[in-house]
Amino acid sequence: MIDINLIRTNKDLVKENIRKKFQDDKLPLVDEVEELDKKSRALKQEGDNLRQSRNTLSTQIGSLMKEKKLAEAEAIKQEVRKNNDRIAEIEKEEEVLAEKIRKIMLTIPNIIDKSVPIGKDDSENVEIERFGEPKVPSFEVPHHADILESINGLDKDAAGRTSGNGFYYLMGDAARIESAMISFARDYMVGKGFTYCIPPFMIRSDVVDGVMSFAEMSAMMYKIEGEDLYLIGTSEHSMIGKFKDQIIKESDLPVRMTSYSPCFRKEVGSHGIEERGVYRVHQFEKQEMIVICRPEESMQWYDKMWQYTVDICRALDIPCRTLECCSGDLADLKVKSCDVEAWSPRQKKYFEVGSCSNLTDAQARRLGIRAKGEKGTYYLHTLNNTVLASPRILIAFLENNLQEDGSIRIPLALRPYLGGMEKVEPKKKIK
């Protein structure tokens, strides 16, 4: 949520930002909220004047009562009653206007960074840099579901019976590899000074409203029937929500946290749920990171955070690249975002395994996350980034570490988490 002062002082900038995001249907909202804000401020001024008048009149009543001028005092009391009635009306009108203004402000997108490329959708995202050589082996790389089945690592049929489409059982060495990668990612982030956290896996609607737009919530999140609770789609939401309505000491900044959680997503849209593999599913596991920091430090943290994900991919012998998200691909709260994509030797292309975002003060304004410094209280900046999300990273791991004989090589970084195991042997031939 942007500062309403920006609409008061530079609404053309707000409108231009909306155009850059190809959301022209939202342009009338800027003028609408400007008019509502003017009405609200006029009502506030009227209310303040009436309260000041009431105080003055109350003083006069006291003097008249002392002088036994009861009739004059009663006349002024009548005026005070009228003032009180009007003040009550104003307060109700202000409450209605404030709700209308907030509802609109929640839909107006954050001001994107000047460095963000302009484009309509993810097809116009821009490659930034590649890390590691994207190799294609001399042998054919099978579908990841076939690799998993060769080590008895995947059972979607049973998951279909228990839970339906979009769920899976991960078994044996495949499950161990996934857990090992998450543990490695956790320890890597702890080594970078982040505090490890296991957060609540359900959050209330006021936290959801604070961390994302309604459109995102509707497409992503599962609601618990009969409860004001939602299953998290990413633990960033719980971690940012932890600081709702808090004033953080400047000496405690920056807040750095890394968390493990299962994540739950509807995956509504044209892409649908993958029938065979585990690329797009309703439930997955994730190691996440967040930073809450001073405004002047957020871009520095942004550059550090995506690099952490790249470093983890390279430690797992997965070539990757970073992709700058264009204006039309940015969620409304984001100022700048980049995807980390892993190389797929089977598909001979990159695919997304993580995303790093700077939301500046958008979430902080919605949730009331502030710090108090020498110049007063101010809103902080929030950032989030995927450390590692499985099963997508598992797919990249399997494809890039598969050997011609069907075995799966275990990179050095992962061996301590797997009892020193150097490779996983296939249990049966890949079909």
Q: In this predicted model, what pLDDT tens digit does every residue of 293-332 receive, in sequence order?
A: 999 999 999 999 999 999 999 999 999 999 999 999 999 9
Which residues, at least 6 apart from 101, have a Cβ–Cβ distance to it below 8 Å? 4, 33, 36, 37, 40
Mean predicted confidence (pLDDT) in 88-95: 96
CATH fold of the domain at 122-424: BirA Bifunctional Protein; domain 2 (3.30.930)
Model confidence band, residue 199 (pLDDT cutoffs 50, 70, 90):
very high
Residue appearing with tokens 């997508």: 392
91 alpha carbon, distance to own chain's centre: 34
Model confidence band, residue 11 (pLDDT cutoffs 50, 70, 90):
very high
**Per-residue tokens: 66:** 């002392």
**Number of CB atoms found within 10 A of residue 198's CB:** 10
pLDDT at 276: 80
Least confident of 16-30, 49-63, 129-143, 281-295: 49-63
State the burial class of residue 333 (Cβ atoms within 10 Å of its Cβ: 0-12, 13-18, 19+). Answer: buried
Is the per-residue pLDDT at 215 higher than 80? no
pLDDT at 328: 97
Model confidence band, residue 219 (pLDDT cutoffs 50, 70, 90):
confident
Is the per-residue pLDDT at 74 higher than 90? no
Is the per-residue pLDDT at 268 higher than 70? no
**Per-residue tokens: 410:** 């275990």
- Report the CATH superfamily, name and number, of domain 4-105: Serine-tRNA synthetase, tRNA binding domain (1.10.287.40)
HSE-up of residue 197 (Cα within 13 Å, Cβ side) = 21
Domain boundaries, the chain: 4-105, 122-424
Longest dimension (CA), the chain: 107
Matching fold, domains 4-105 and 122-424? no
State the burial class of residue 33 (Cβ atoms within 10 Å of its Cβ: 0-12, 13-18, 19+). Answer: buried
State residue 390 phi and psi, 5-degree precision: -115, 145
How far apart, in Å, are the Cα atoms of 150 and each of 239, 274, 318? 38, 20, 21
Integer Cα distance of 156 and 144 in angstroms: 13
**Number of CB atoms found within 10 A of residue 63's CB:** 11
Query: For a pLDDT cut of 70, what percent of the chain falls above it?
Result: 98
Is the per-residue pLDDT at 270 higher than 60? no
Integer Cα distance of 34 and 177 in angstroms: 54
Integer Cα distance of 386 and 339 in angstroms: 9
Model confidence band, residue 273 (pLDDT cutoffs 50, 70, 90):
low
Q: pTM, whole model, 2 decimals?
A: 0.90
Q: In this predicted model, what pLDDT tens digit does every residue of 135-183 receive, in sequence order?
A: 999 999 999 999 999 999 999 999 999 999 999 999 999 999 999 999 9
Mean pLDDT across the chain: 94
Mean predicted confidence (pLDDT) in 202-225: 88
pLDDT at 213: 79
Contact 116, 128 (CB under 8 A): no
Mean predicted confidence (pLDDT) in 279-300: 96
Q: In this predicted model, what pLDDT tens digit does every residue of 227-236 receive, in sequence order?
A: 999 999 999 9
Q: In this predicted model, what pLDDT tens digit does every residue of 374-406 receive, in sequence order?
A: 889 999 999 999 999 999 999 999 999 999 999
Model confidence band, residue 69 (pLDDT cutoffs 50, 70, 90):
confident
Is the per-residue pLDDT at 245 higher than 60? yes
Question: In 153-276, at which residue ranges do the beta strands (DSSP E only) sit?
Answer: 154-155, 169-170, 195-197, 202-203, 230-231, 247-249, 255-264
Integer Cα distance of 94 and 389 in angstroms: 45
